Amino acid sequence: MERYEKHIFVCQNEREPENPKGCCKSKGSEEVFRAFRKQLADLGLKERFKASKAGCLANCEKGVTVVVYPEGVWYQKISTGDVSTIITEHLLHNRPVDALRLFPEHKTVD
């Protein structure tokens, strides 16, 4: 198996409803994960890029949280509508989507 160019991890953490941090699961992380998998397949990109479910990424209060490696770019408050932007801009054109970044101060250097 060849190594993927980029690997997308989508937090699937689930907490009790009364937890003040909330959880990515209740904010739609399963739908975001499925959207990544479907769009990568539909675009013929699943051999280049891999989307996986992740356990707690420790940012559920800012969830749905997504991280893309190898760059280590973290995204926050991701919805299914953001998936195509991340695929097009970050995965295909190597331009992380600054407007969605969790840690905008950690910009990658070209």
Tokens of 54: 């992740």
The DSSP call for residue 86 is I
Residues 66 and 8: beta-carbon distance below 8 Å: yes
pLDDT of 2: 66
7-11, 24-28, 36-40, 97-101: range with lowest mean pLDDT:
24-28
- pLDDT tens for residues 40-74? 999 999 999 999 999 888 887 887 999 999 999 99
Q: In what order do the strands lie in the sheet with 73-75?
A: 49-54, 6-11, 66-69, 73-75
Of the two residues 58 and 36, the one the predictor is more confident about is 36
The tokens describing 100, both together, are 């969605």
At residue 32, does pLDDT exceed 90? yes
pLDDT of residue 110: 44
Contact 4, 50 (CB under 8 A): yes
* Placement of tokens 């070209």 in the chain: 110
